[in-house]
Homo-oligomer: A and B are copies of this chain.
Amino acid sequence: MGLGIKHLLDVYSLSKDDVMYILDTADTFKDISTRDIKKVPTLRGKTVINLFFEPSTRTRTSFELAGKRLSADTINISASASSVTKGETLLDTLKNLEAMNPDAVVMRHLASGAAHFAAKHVDFAIINAGDGRHAHPTQALLDLMTIRDCKGKADGLKVTIVGDINRSRVARSNIHLLSKVGCDVSVCAPASMIPAGIEQLGVKVHYNIKDALDGADVVMMLRIQKERHGGNYFPTLREYSRYFSLNKDTIKYAKEDVTVMHPGPMNRGVEIASDIADGELSVILPQVANGLAIRMALLFLLAGGSRQ
């Protein structure tokens, strides 16, 4: 059995079988990172390029390490130092890379749809590492993997996502992926952060974290971007925190064994209290470990690796 896709652009285009296949493959790779020799020859002689038009340490590091532990040659390109600043089009940048025969390009771009555009025009695998507000599929896959690790399944679970849903590609990708595998997804935020018409995705909308958490098996807290907000979408950070943060008071409304997730980087004391982030219910660091495994799996599946 193989994967039904050549690129990872979003979660819509993944069949449920694809999703399970990626997760199962990630499970088999996870162990590599805990061995004494954390390296397999799977992608030896393959080239993986990290093409980041937005700064990112976490995701870039995760992909770079995934590539290196599979023995791929990895190259980092960041926009600030790139030809892009000389006015080259995205298509020309991609075609130039294509002329050097990479096997996969991991791409983060500020424009929604950039990865889809890329995939239409190149003959190497595109892995979307975040495009605008649109999609961040590897984040959703690692989140699902983490939920499955904790709960043994995803089907039928109640998952609540709290934060700036409107501008979050993490939220968008999770809503689609978790719904696809049978979760009952709710979102919670001030009205200014809820996209219009989101109920049509089958999502319940709450404006009150207590209602939103009622009976939740899993809660995902999104980062409040201090540098972008403040005054525009809610009066103050303190105000936001009072009504929408996960803390020892609000977590009581969820199930006792609720799984606490956050894609990072966290603003401790804003969207999540430190004792919750570091508490027994938190799987924030296992999410990071699973992220590495998911990216190894995707590079293996899409960059033409072979088991040896």
Residues of A within 8 A of B (CB): 33-39, 44-47, 49, 55-58, 61-62, 64-65, 68-69, 73, 75, 77-78, 81-89, 92-93, 95-101, 103, 223, 225-227, 264-268, 285-289, 292, 304
New A-B pairs, 10, CB < 8 Å, besides A38-B101, A99-B286, A99-B289? A34-B101, A36-B45, A37-B45, A37-B46, A57-B82, A78-B81, A83-B264, A83-B265, A92-B265, A98-B285
Question: Is the pair A264, B98 in contact by a Cβ cutoff of 8 Å?
Answer: no
Question: Is the pair B57, A87 in contact by a Cβ cutoff of 8 Å?
Answer: no
Question: Is the pair B55, A45 in contact by a Cβ cutoff of 8 Å?
Answer: no
Question: Is the pair B226, A36 in contact by a Cβ cutoff of 8 Å?
Answer: no
Do A47 and B58 form a contact, CB below 8 Å, given A68-B73, A69-B73?
A: no
Which residues of chain B have C-beta atoms less than 8 A from A227's C-beta? Answer: 86-87
Question: Is the pair A96, B285 in contact by a Cβ cutoff of 8 Å?
Answer: yes
Nearest neighbor of A64 in chain B, beta-carbon distance: B75
Question: Is the pair B38, A46 in contact by a Cβ cutoff of 8 Å?
Answer: yes
Report the separation of the CA atoms of residues A97 and B100 in the bound assembly, to the nearest whole angstrom: 29
A-B interface, 9 closest residue pairs, ranked by CB to CB distance from nearest = A37-B45, A99-B288, A88-B265, A39-B45, A57-B82, A68-B73, A83-B265, A99-B289, A99-B285
Question: Is the pair B304, A36 in contact by a Cβ cutoff of 8 Å?
Answer: yes
Do A83 and B69 form a contact, CB below 8 Å, given A45-B38, A266-B92?
A: no
Which residues of chain B have C-beta atoms less than 8 A from A37's C-beta? Answer: 44-46
Report the separation of the CA atoms of residues A212 and B267 in the bound assembly, to the nearest whole angstrom: 51
Say how many copies of this protein the assembly contains. Answer: 3
Report the separation of the CA atoms of residues A92 and B274 in the bound assembly, to the nearest whole angstrom: 11
A81 interface neighbour in B57, B96, B266, Cβ under 8 Å: B57
Question: Is the pair B33, A38 in contact by a Cβ cutoff of 8 Å?
Answer: no
A62 interface neighbour in B100, B267, B292, Cβ under 8 Å: B100
Nearest neighbor of A81 in chain B, beta-carbon distance: B55
Question: Is the pair A75, B83 in contact by a Cβ cutoff of 8 Å?
Answer: no
Report the separation of the CA atoms of residues A227 and B88 in the bound assembly, to the nearest whole angstrom: 13
Question: Is the pair B38, A47 in contact by a Cβ cutoff of 8 Å?
Answer: yes
Which residues of chain B have C-beta atoms less than 8 A from A47's C-beta? Answer: 38, 65, 68-69
Which residues of chain B have C-beta atoms less than 8 A from A92's C-beta? Answer: 264-266, 268
Report the separation of the CA atoms of residues A304 and B95 in the bound assembly, to the nearest whole angstrom: 32
Question: Is the pair A268, B89 in contact by a Cβ cutoff of 8 Å?
Answer: yes
A95 interface neighbour in B33, B36, B65, B285, Cβ under 8 Å: B285
| Closest CB in chain B relative to A72 CB, distance in Å | 10
Question: Is the pair B45, A57 in contact by a Cβ cutoff of 8 Å?
Answer: no
Question: Is the pair A100, B33 in contact by a Cβ cutoff of 8 Å?
Answer: yes
A–B pairs, 28, beta carbons within 8 Å: A35-B45, A37-B44, A37-B45, A38-B47, A38-B103, A39-B44, A49-B61, A55-B85, A57-B84, A58-B83, A61-B97, A68-B73, A68-B75, A78-B81, A86-B223, A86-B227, A86-B265, A87-B267, A88-B264, A88-B266, A92-B268, A93-B265, A95-B285, A96-B285, A99-B286, A99-B287, A99-B288, A100-B289
